[in-house]
Structure 1
């Protein structure tokens, strides 16, 4: 009977020993190539990275990554709330986010995977093909867009996916002063397909991402003239990813994987694979975004 406490003690020690071993193993599982994690991906980007994920899965059999759709603002909120190791968004920090990050000295890291472009578009029946940056600046600040040669006036409202979208963040970045609210009146349509349907039956102008807008031939992206950093006037060019590659599109949008810190964990491994793998780069390019670190052979079409 006296041996029972000794045996019980042995059992308890054994359980503790096994638990410690299991705990150590669990900590070791989360490596750049194995483990389990969730990556939050902006809604407009989710189809692109979902298309690339089978390539990742085929290479890393012991990695279990789940992709979850979020809007851009929500994704950033999850990062700041310490609720995500990685979020993938097609925008940079907004000013308030950057100020908070700097003030709190948060150790976030950015991995630039690809680029897209902010596009203004209308329905194909509207006889407006080109605008310059100053015309767009005036429009965003509340003026009507009038075409001299066609005398067509667009509605004084801009159709946007939502205030939480990367499209709106890009609009703020390029046309707002210190991310202040824009004077233009907006109509919000969170469903991008419905937004395009609205454009088809209205003299309205909308914003979208190049990768998405170019997939729909029923709408027309507006060619934009601008003045580059060397004060050279660049005439309106066809809206095409090739001009993003050449850094000749005026409204380029970065696509970042935001990491909670610089730890080389599973989420980091996924993000860097999306960034650097040549097959993933081909898949993402086919989806319409421009991988930042891919090599390109541009052929000019006459």
Structure 2
């Protein structure tokens, strides 16, 4: 009788485990997402949850720094950011024994916005001069130090140097508001937050290195992002630290599928996970 009871208990135990087993399309995952791509990721999470009723993907809108901090501190299995990890974050991942993989998601860029009396184009060197405070005529306005915009400029453009001369705000929307108030300023914001902005114009930027006799200028556009021609192009990546192949992995696959990449193009990002032909 004792043996029979034990067998029944064990069978119920394994049955319970089986019911709670997480799969790529069944289970829960919280995605900490850089605000630069939050609207796109949020829409795709809704689509994933609708397509797979047993899945529950929640997307938290945070700064790039917080998204990555959650990952390297072992608080999240998945983070999405428009920049790579810096040395401090890599060290934290190593210290906390976080083994993560990086998956390409989309390309975007940092847009330069200004009033309509500002020139339509600016050379890359002239842009840097404004950001560094070397042009007394204009002031650069940026989102805060924890944003992916600031971190990208700091590490990719200024080789790790802080941008001391720029005016810092707490968000892209605050940058736009500041530029609207102050005519002698330019703003640098995530592309997604500049796309629908009609009160300011998007400035075309000269190539980082001019290799032709005539200067080349590029507008922020998915085609130029994909070809890395736009001088402030960024790669947005999914950082996955899931031990087993669960719902976070399933959602990552969905983001990089044809469905996810097509939706990214609708939002004016450059697909990074599938071949694409982009027309105007």
Is 1:239 matched with 2:220? yes
Deviations 1:171-218 (A, max 9, x none): 1123222x231232323132x333312211212111111222121121
Pairs within 5 Å for 1:1-302: 15=9, 18-26=12-20, 29-101=21-93, 106-124=98-116, 126-144=117-135, 153-155=137-139, 158-177=140-159, 179-190=160-171, 192-202=172-182, 203-228=184-209, 232-233=211-212, 235-261=216-242, 263-276=244-257, 278-299=258-279
RMSD: 2.6
Deviation at 1:120, TM superposition (A): 2.0
Alignment-derived partner of residue 3 in structure 1: none
Shift >4 Å, 4+ stretches = 9-17, 102-105
Report the secondary structure of 2:256's partner residue. Answer: helix
Query: Mind listing any 5+ residue stretches in structure 1 that lack a counterpart?
Result: 1-5, 146-152
SS in 2 for 1:288: coil
| Structure 1 residues 95 and 186: CA distance shift in structure 2, 3 A | farther
CA distance in 1, matches of 2:106, 2:125: 27
Count of matched residue positions in the alignment of Structure 1 and Structure 2: 277
Q: Distance in 1 between matches of 2:196 and 2:62?
A: 22
8 Å contact kept, 1:174–1:251? no
In structure 2, the gaps of 5 or more residues are none
TM-score, normalised with respect to structure 1: 0.81
Post-superposition shift, 1:19? 3.7
CA distance in structure 1 between the partners assigned to 2:35 and 2:206 by the alignment = 30
- Write out per-residue CA displacement over residues 30-75 of structure 1, whole angstroms, 9 at most, x where no aligned residue: 1112112211222232211122233323432322211122111111
Residues 48 and 36 of structure 1: is their aligned pair in 2 closer, same or farther, counting only changes over 3 Å? Answer: same
Instruction: Please state how far the C-alpha of 1:16 moved relative to its aligned partner.
Output: 6.2
**1:227–1:68 Cα change, 3 Å:** closer
Deviation for aligned residue 1:294: 3.3
Contact (CA 8 Å) 1:212, 1:288: kept in 2 or not?
Answer: no
Structure 1 residue 17 displacement after superposition = 5.4
SS of 2:168 mapped into structure 1:
strand
- Give 3-state SS (helix, strand or coil) of 1:256's partner: strand
TM-score (norm 2): 0.87
Structure number with larger C-alpha Rg: 1
- The offset of 1:14, in angstroms, is 5.1
Question: SS state of the match for residue 217, structure 2?
Answer: coil
